[in-house]
Structure 1
């Protein structure tokens, strides 16, 4: 899968130094100008040294500025896509809804581009071989952890979800090398979730981490790192579209596991359906 430099910049942004952020800010705001600049021109506009531009390119995984520019040019958004973040107070309700839907669609498309197939395969194998799976998420990630627990439990896997900070820590401390801990954090910096994954790793459990930021604290603890990519609108700082992308990612993991365990999954689903039919009118 070909790299997308603009998505990589967004993912690495929180971990960048000041000079790197200046370069990223200019490129992400005016990519059309950046692709036609020299190193000297970009360094002048960003207010950094020429050498900082070269180091920035290498941080993103490119050999030099020319290679970076070519990649940016390939991944420039179409004009109609640039409206996604421009939700304003003057917008009508239907216009706001249209932009929110478009933002969620874009998050799904961008996340599929940054999803590493090798990391996805590794995560599926870890889940298939786990004696016990625990999902950790607090705040807005708590509902994702609970939903994942419910889905995997229904197909017969030994799972649990912890969303209370204290219970996350205690539960993680009971894991061992036969277990898998799944940490969900959009920023990758949620202290309670990161700590739970740290404890799980100390107990030799395998770790799967779902985040939007490549060099975040939780990403550094992952045996399998699954990235999502979102660009939050002005009025959506709580990562609304990130949750949409993470739901799709968790559904992908669930479906991959279900396909691999097809016969037992069908049996479990039939049993659950029969039980749940009693609750329906």
Structure 2
């Protein structure tokens, strides 16, 4: 008969090997995301969407800013196979240092937030200047992180689709409304799922695999947007999403997801980058469709 120690050794789970690169770390977090607790998902959002805030601060400073206890960050790191949080931070930091583009944006945002935090004046001109500066950072980041190939691929998908369904609620509603108005003006058969009377899901049920959905959603996802995206996904229709997080449930259902990082000033978030991306898709569609028609 085998000893208890031998039996324990036999059934003990194999320790996970920690990811050695930032790309591998993000892939592992994405793979495990559905199994994370609410607190773990909060930490995951920083690793995936705002890594610079975790990589270059002490646990104490990061904890104060994020509201996440240092012990939770350590548990998160260990769940990924690391011996502690500092080892995970180093992997994230090395990845950022290898990508000066991402690092530069994160550093500029930190400097801007520090400047705003020290500002004593809250007059109209000062607030305007803060938003102009913050939106400029957001637009520059959009330019650096969105490739021409990504835009061309999205435009090609929209052109190929019979009908374009557009959805976005709450903070995303103005962006969705602009997209619907603009694509309709460009002659694209478009259905704007505005949800009047609570009929958002009913408006979506006619979507087919030959159609396409353009969904705008920010964390936490509006229930209405998520429900419509799920219907489109179940019906076999492709989804293009504009979102602030790659772990947004809608992004995970999408054939193509654009991640935008909107500016935030005094707890109010802008929509400038999302609207700029929307304008890019609309104008790109106008030129591409005209070229296809031989105009």
Question: TM-score of the superposition, structure 2-length normalised?
Answer: 0.67
Find the structure with the greater CA-based Rg.
Answer: 2
Aligned to 2:130: 99
Deviation of 1:72 (Å): 7.5
Q: Distance in 2 between matches of 1:218 and 1:55?
A: 31
2:177 to 146, 165, 168: 146
Q: Distance in 2 between matches of 1:159 and 1:55?
A: 49
2:287 to 259, 262, 268: 259
**Structure 1 residues 32-83: Cα deviation after superposition (integer angstroms, max 9, x where no partner):** 779xxxxxxxxxx9552653448846xxxx9x35623624874352586344
1:68 to 95, 116, 127: 95
Deviation of 1:20 (Å): 4.0
Alignment pair present for 1:209 and 2:236: no
Q: Retained in 1: the 8 A contact 2:55–2:93?
A: no
Q: Retained in 2: the 8 A contact 1:172–1:200?
A: yes
Aligned-residue CA RMSD in angstroms?
3.9
Q: How does 1:148-187 map to 2 (within 5 A)?
A: 148-164=179-195, 166-187=198-219
Residues 93 and 30 of structure 1: CA distance in aligned 2, closer, same or farther (over 3 Å): farther
Q: Distance in 2 between matches of 1:206 and 1:107?
A: 28
Residues 51 and 201 of structure 1: CA distance in aligned 2, closer, same or farther (over 3 Å): same
Deviation of 1:141 (Å): 2.0
Residues 150 and 77 of structure 1: CA distance in aligned 2, closer, same or farther (over 3 Å): same
| Greater alpha carbon shift after TM alignment, 114-123 vs 168-177 | 114-123
Gaps in structure 1 of 5+ consecutive residues = 35-44, 268-281
Deviation of 1:87 (Å): 8.0
Aligned to 2:107: 77
Number of equivalenced pairs: 240
Q: Distance in 2 between matches of 1:133 and 1:26?
A: 34
Q: Distance in 1 between matches of 2:87 and 2:57?
A: 21
Aligned to 1:273: none
SS at 1:226 equivalent? strand
SS at 1:160 equivalent? strand
Deviation of 1:233 (Å): 2.5
SS at 1:112 equivalent? helix
Aligned to 1:17: 40
Q: Which has the higher contact order (CA 8 A, sep 6+)?
A: 1
Deviation of 1:191 (Å): 1.0
Q: Distance in 1 between matches of 2:201 and 2:95?
A: 42
Q: Retained in 1: the 8 A contact 2:141–2:261?
A: yes
Question: TM-score of the superposition, structure 1-length normalised?
Answer: 0.70
SS at 1:193 equivalent? helix
Q: Distance in 2 between matches of 1:185 and 1:69?
A: 26
Q: Retained in 2: the 8 A contact 1:172–1:199?
A: yes
